[in-house]
Amino acid sequence: MPYPPRDYHICPSCGTEFGNDDAGVSHEQLRRQWVANGAHWFYGHPPQAWNPWLQLIKGGHPEEVPFRAMPADNPAGTATTIRLGNPLGFPFNVWVGV
């Protein structure tokens, strides 16, 4: 966002209107709701090569990036959604495919 998250500015990526949408809900709750709904770009066309997962990582929220893991002992091949976390702190390498 080109402006700070306040004063009724609207985030172009998630659509949050700061000062309105976050009046009774935390930024964490709004972020998780955005991710749960697919983390789609809200306003107009996203910047070229925009990636919501990299945006979360660069914004300091790698724990919010969902990814799918295929357990080796799962013959059906169904995916399990898990959260990316880093209990040891930064830096870490991650590849996020979209």
CB of 23 within 8 A of CB of 16? no
Report pLDDT digits (tens) over 43-93. 889 999 899 988 998 888 888 887 655 555 555 555 444 455 544 444 444
In this predicted structure, what is the pLDDT of residue 58?
A: 87
Q: Give me the residues paired with residue 66 across strands.
A: 83
The model's pLDDT over 1-32, given as tens digits with 9 standing for 90+, comes to 777 777 889 999 999 999 999 999 999 999 99
Predicted confidence band of residue 40 (pLDDT cuts 50, 70, 90): very high
Q: Taking Cα atoms as reference points, which of 73, 74, 56 lies closest to residue 65?
A: 56
Strand pairing class (80-83; 66-69): antiparallel
Q: Where are the alpha helices (DSSP H) in 40-97?
A: 52-58
Cα of 17 vs its chain's centroid, Å: 17
Q: Under a CB-based contact definition with an 8 Å cutoff, are residues 68 and 84 in contact?
A: no
Note the pLDDT of residue 31: 93
